[in-house]
Structure 1
Amino acid sequence: MERDVVRQTVLRPYIEILSFWGESIEDYLFVFDVKEQQFYFSSCIWEKYPLPFIDISFGIEDWISVIDIRDRSKVEQNLEEIKRGETDQVAMEYRMIDRKGISVWVNCVGKCVSYDDGKPSIIVGSISENVVSKKIDQLTGLQNQTVLEKSFQEILQKGESGYFLILGIDDFKNVNDKYGRKFGDEQLKKLAEIIDKNLEYDSRLYRLDGDKFGVNLVGYSKESAKAFYDRIKTEFSIQTYSNVSAGAVSYPTDVNNYHNLYQYAEDALNQSKQQGKNKLSFFSIDIYKGHLFFIDLKEEILESIKNDFEGFYIYYQPVVKNENGMLIKAEALMRWRSKQYGEISPVVFIPILEQTGLILEAGKWILEKAMKQCHEWRQYLPNFRMNINLSYIQLKDKRLMETIFYALDKANIPGSAIILEVTESIQLQDYSYFNLLFYQLSKKGIQISIDDFGTGYSSLGYLKELRVDEIKIDRCFVKSIQEGGYNSHLIKNMIELAHSVNIRVCVEGVETVEERTVLKKLSPDVIQGYYFGRPETPDKFYEKFITKAKEGQPIVDDGERKVVSEHNNMLKKNSQNYQNLLDELDYIIYVCDAETYELYYINKLGKKLTGVYDYTGKKCYEVFRRGKEACADCKMNTLEQGVFRTEVKREKNVEFLMKEKKIIWDGKLARLEMITENGEKE
């Protein structure tokens, strides 16, 4: 009894403070009688929240009833810990349900002012909506990114696992532009409502920037995360006729810190957007590294161009007359060597140039360089011509003709020395625009060639509608043409059709003597491919091709190639015996394509040491260096056919003797490499 009197004596002044100060401040002041499990609040709280009013106090059950059901367990746990004497303070954020049924985030803090037998007896504190307002999104009432970061760190410290999703409305900018921002806001609130409704109690939803929401699915598996997204996607589509994409990352499997959590989930969301939208993508470290690789390349390309195209250079591939194999022109092919990654394929860096708009500067550079080179070679071959590729972005550039004509004047060559190649896949449907452009170019003598003919859009329509001078039939139609059948008939028809409307035909990708023999009979005008020559530096091009052309010689002796081909066929027939012999040698031996690096053969010791037994479609650097790009120190371009290049290398305190040279393998130019520990072996 005496203790109760003491407790009431201590309690009374705090209750008086509630009455005096309660209506003077915006926060809700409270006193919690721990023993009686009774709350006393400043009177203004009853105006907003549906609490029973009995002498300014109410029981703990009444208090729990106005707390959002998703947060009740943690509040009850805190109150129980206070009762048992395990803590003497309150510091948490949770949601309360107001009289309109709206969930409101609040910050609750309190501390003990009186103890009974060492346990808290009276807790005094406040509940504030303003404290958390900077952490709450005003449109949806959801916690923002600031809270997400803190709560995720807490989850990691507890050792919990699950999936974090970022969801975004597809084409949200178009929604705002077409229907107005108010309509867009309603869509955001609807998506928040649908996600929140589908969440379990221990999971959390956050409003991020723009149209994005973050969802922490605690304890979810990959399958249940996918099922969760599917429910959101379906409901949102039905209710709004809009779509939503998402990216997901698992923790702690994929990530163990907040910075990477957000970055990885956003990267996965970008994958979904790029792959057609309205889908969920799970984070992949390989795809992410590819994305970083792309960013690195983009930055380095920009720097290269600023530094007078440092690292860029041009290779030239010969194009010959079909009937006699005489060199008549070359195709200029842009190449780029990265300081960080070495040689980068045009398939990789050309799209980067196009996406960044740098293709205009790069296009001007190659036009000027290639035309200058054409001028030099025309000193030896007066009718020599140069094929130069143009991208769609260049074709739509209003300054294109000015750029081309300036380059012609600078190189001091006529327009007839230049053929501009346009890739068919860029869709030249705007016939009136392109025909006017091509006509204006033709007045200078410049011709137009359609590259990759037959692989793109409405090929036959081009011949009828576009003013073009040449078509280049793609390699995909040439492969295995010697076997007859569909490809042979198709190329024959293409050639006849083009010739019927006075369009010249170039066949690309000719690699073997068999293909050359068949095509010679089909009578295209010109031919291009590895059979005649690979792309070369200007010096090598002059040495290999110009010197022969000056003497009136074909750049390839078909008769000689036929003998080599027959020799290769003989080797092919005896290939099993040949490979059995190589398998017995105490060397790692492999053969790869000299241009693509694709592996043709690995001997028994090579397969054993690399652990790769099925190397079909793999590159040499993927198997032997575990790399994604050709080795920076690759000597492929310096190798000669039939002459071994020898080098000693040291790796992990072991010296290796490496021998390599170019050979003909099944009719294709390839690299043979032999590796062994350094010694006196021959």
Structure 2
Amino acid sequence: MVRKEKLDSMFNAFSIVSGGNYVYVCDMKQDLSRWSKSAVDYFGLPSEYMENAQSIWNEHLHPTDREYFNESINAIFAGSDNNHTLEYRARRLDGEYVVCVCQGVVIHDDDGKPEYFCGSIKNHDSVNYIDDVTNLRSLYGFLDDLKSAFWKKQELDILMIGVEEFSRTNDIFGYTFGNRALRKLGSLLLSEFRCEGQVYRMDGTKFAVIAQKSSIQRLSEIYADLQETCAKEFYVGSDRLTLSLCAGALHLERFSVSPDTVYSCLRFALHESKGNHHGELFEFQEVVIDESRNSLTRLNEIRNSIVDECVGFELYYQPVVDAKTEEMCGAEALIRWRNNDYGLVPPFLFVPILEQDSLFPELGKWILREAMICGNRIRAKYPNFVMNVNLSYAQLERTDFVDVVLDLLKATHFPAKNLCLELTERCRLLDVKLLQNIFVRLREEGVRIALDDFGTGFSSLGVLRKLPIDCVKIDRDYVLNIQSNKEDRNTVKFISQLAEAFNAELCVEGVETAEMRDMLRKFNVTSFQGFYYSRPVPIEEFCVKYSC
């Protein structure tokens, strides 16, 4: 009776913090368990109190999931594991299976022996795993099926397909017709990939295929045929549409990463296909770092760092100097990630991929806050100091982006006039009207706007005309050979005149020698940035250099 009272006491305690999930507590010494009544009713279990609950629950699991469930529970009772997190399918009272996530932990007695196994079960029945438009499995189903493959350590080839500029179809024919087109495309994908794997409808106009017995080469061949069909022979009723597709792919053979990390890599590959490879299939290639680690596992660690309140991230600062006096007038904040296993990782190894991740705006917010805090430290000695921070399109797409910036300025007491937000080349796909609305509001508050990477694909004359730009930054590629290359000198001269015509300052990046500096001074340049003055350095080193 005493042990049953203790079982009930622990059950009540776990129920308080369960967050609405089902709760179970097992007395491991007597193999007596108590389960939530809601779970008993939902799954048709014999009673709230059960002996040998493992065997009873095992009969309610999907047959293909039982092996992994029993393996984990046996390890718990054998003392080789102290906790587990499992996802499996459980049969509810009406015979249908629902996806559940079970988390449990072992509590030891005073002698250190396992005494109770306690935990909760989250029922995902409320999540829609079937897409309403196409009747394909949805993004939720895609992520869950990835998790299942991870547990089973199944090598996979994954393909993600996107439809470019599908909004035009909706604008011309209406959303009802657009949904018919997506259903037709879903049926076509099912037909084309029926022998390769499972087809999914992802978010928006994206689809995916998880193939267990195929190859990237085979998926690429099918995709090429699909492109041809969608471009020339795609009919919805009697209406022929021309659909432009893009695709990214990934071969998965490591299982220490999360499905969300895989999803981000696929989105990156899809973005590369669309932006830089004219719709040809782009494969995300893992780079082997050493014998036991690769770029995907590193990216997974970086992504986890964002979840853990951006632990491991730090900002380096590269000074911006006045072109005439060479006095420090500002700095650009540059993100880095540091880890005991991977060392200091530069941004080009993770930012382009993480920009496709829903977590990236949180990192962007952390960067802004940290830059403002450090900027205040520098401003104490240099009141006119301007902190430059790069923006990502993932931030700019958020409807609350302006409010986030203004709230951070208020919270850190950083003056808006001392902040300069840099619009990078990767933002080129965003709608100019969206950018106008954002930057007009920020300019009204005093925030400065810089156009970074001028001379690359995004930085066109049309964009300079339409956006309120305070500073144009010339990409370093245009000045590396400025002493010997007449065309580069003419390019810099033209850009300097262009900036002056639009009342914008001109900053030249990549200044590495005194000779480059002297040559650039012949043009209407406002400021310099480059290794000649300083490499990017941590805030402490920056403050020592400039006594701030």
Q: Label 1:229 to 1:336 Cα distance change in 2 as closer, same or farther (>3 A).
A: closer
Q: Label 1:405 to 1:188 Cα distance change in 2 as closer, same or farther (>3 A).
A: closer
Q: Label 1:188 to 1:540 Cα distance change in 2 as closer, same or farther (>3 A).
A: closer
C-alpha offsets along residues 103-157 of structure 1, whole Å, 9 cap, x if unaligned?
Answer: xxxxxxxxxxxxxxxxxxxxxxxxxxxxxxxxxxxxxxxxxxxxxxxxxxxxxxx
RMSD: 4.8
State the match for 2:52 in structure 1. Answer: none
In 1, Cα distance between the equivalents of 2:246 and 2:428? 30
1:534 lines up with 2:535 in the alignment: yes
1:209 lines up with 2:190 in the alignment: no
Structure 1 unaligned spans of 5+? 1-163, 193-204, 256-266, 551-682
Q: Label 1:486 to 1:366 Cα distance change in 2 as closer, same or farther (>3 A).
A: same
CA contact (8 A) 1:236 1:244 kept: no
CA contact (8 A) 1:428 1:434 kept: no
State the match for 1:459 in structure 2. Answer: 460
* Structure 2 counterpart SS, 1:482: coil
State the match for 2:438 in structure 1. Answer: 437
State the match for 2:526 in structure 1. Answer: 525
C-alpha offsets along residues 284-327 of structure 1, whole Å, 9 cap, x if unaligned?
Answer: 88589999844323432233233332111111111111111111
State the match for 1:178 in structure 2. Answer: 180
CA shift at 1:366, angstroms? 1.6
State the match for 1:400 in structure 2. Answer: 401
Matching of residues 75-90 of structure 1 within 5 Å: none
CA contact (8 A) 1:233 1:244 kept: no
In 2, Cα distance between the equivalents of 1:304 and 1:165? 26
1:378 lines up with 2:379 in the alignment: yes
In 1, Cα distance between the equivalents of 2:304 and 2:212? 39
* Structure 1 counterpart SS, 2:469: coil
Q: Label 1:231 to 1:186 Cα distance change in 2 as closer, same or farther (>3 A).
A: closer
* Structure 2 counterpart SS, 1:471: strand
* Structure 2 counterpart SS, 1:331: strand
State the match for 1:447 in structure 2. Answer: 448
Q: Label 1:519 to 1:227 Cα distance change in 2 as closer, same or farther (>3 A).
A: closer
Q: Label 1:355 to 1:236 Cα distance change in 2 as closer, same or farther (>3 A).
A: closer
CA contact (8 A) 2:190 2:199 kept: no
Q: Label 1:373 to 1:179 Cα distance change in 2 as closer, same or farther (>3 A).
A: closer
In 2, Cα distance between the equivalents of 1:462 and 1:483? 30
State the match for 1:304 in structure 2. Answer: 305
In 2, Cα distance between the equivalents of 1:335 and 1:417? 23
Please say which structure displays the higher CA radius of gyration: 1
CA shift at 1:502, angstroms? 1.1
* Structure 2 counterpart SS, 1:410: helix
Q: Label 1:177 to 1:499 Cα distance change in 2 as closer, same or farther (>3 A).
A: same
Q: Label 1:356 to 1:428 Cα distance change in 2 as closer, same or farther (>3 A).
A: closer
State the match for 1:469 in structure 2. Answer: 470
* Structure 2 counterpart SS, 1:355: coil
State the match for 2:79 in structure 1. Answer: none
State the match for 2:203 in structure 1. Answer: none
Matching of residues 270-669 of structure 1 within 5 Å: 275=273, 293-427=294-428, 430-457=431-458, 459-544=460-545, 546-547=546-547
CA shift at 1:406, angstroms? 2.2
Q: TM-score, normalised on structure 1?
A: 0.44
CA shift at 1:365, angstroms? 1.3
In 1, Cα distance between the equivalents of 2:299 and 2:284? 22
CA shift at 1:528, angstroms? 0.5
Q: TM-score, normalised on structure 2?
A: 0.54
User: One-letter code of the match for 1:470?
Assistant: C
* Structure 1 counterpart SS, 2:435: helix
CA contact (8 A) 2:286 2:295 kept: no
Q: Label 1:232 to 1:361 Cα distance change in 2 as closer, same or farther (>3 A).
A: closer
* Structure 2 counterpart SS, 1:521: coil
In 1, Cα distance between the equivalents of 2:398 and 2:223? 44
C-alpha offsets along residues 410-438 of structure 1, whole Å, 9 cap, x if unaligned?
Answer: 32232111111111341276333322322
C-alpha offsets along residues 556-608 of structure 1, whole Å, 9 cap, x if unaligned?
Answer: xxxxxxxxxxxxxxxxxxxxxxxxxxxxxxxxxxxxxxxxxxxxxxxxxxxxx
State the match for 1:117 in structure 2. Answer: none
In 1, Cα distance between the equivalents of 2:220 and 2:437? 54
CA contact (8 A) 1:170 1:277 kept: no
* Structure 1 counterpart SS, 2:355: helix
User: One-letter code of the match for 2:445?
Assistant: K
C-alpha offsets along residues 472-526 of structure 1, whole Å, 9 cap, x if unaligned?
Answer: 0010111111114000111012112211221110000100111011012213001
* Structure 1 counterpart SS, 2:483: helix
CA contact (8 A) 2:451 2:469 kept: yes
CA shift at 1:346, angstroms? 0.2
* Structure 2 counterpart SS, 1:506: strand
* Structure 1 counterpart SS, 2:495: helix
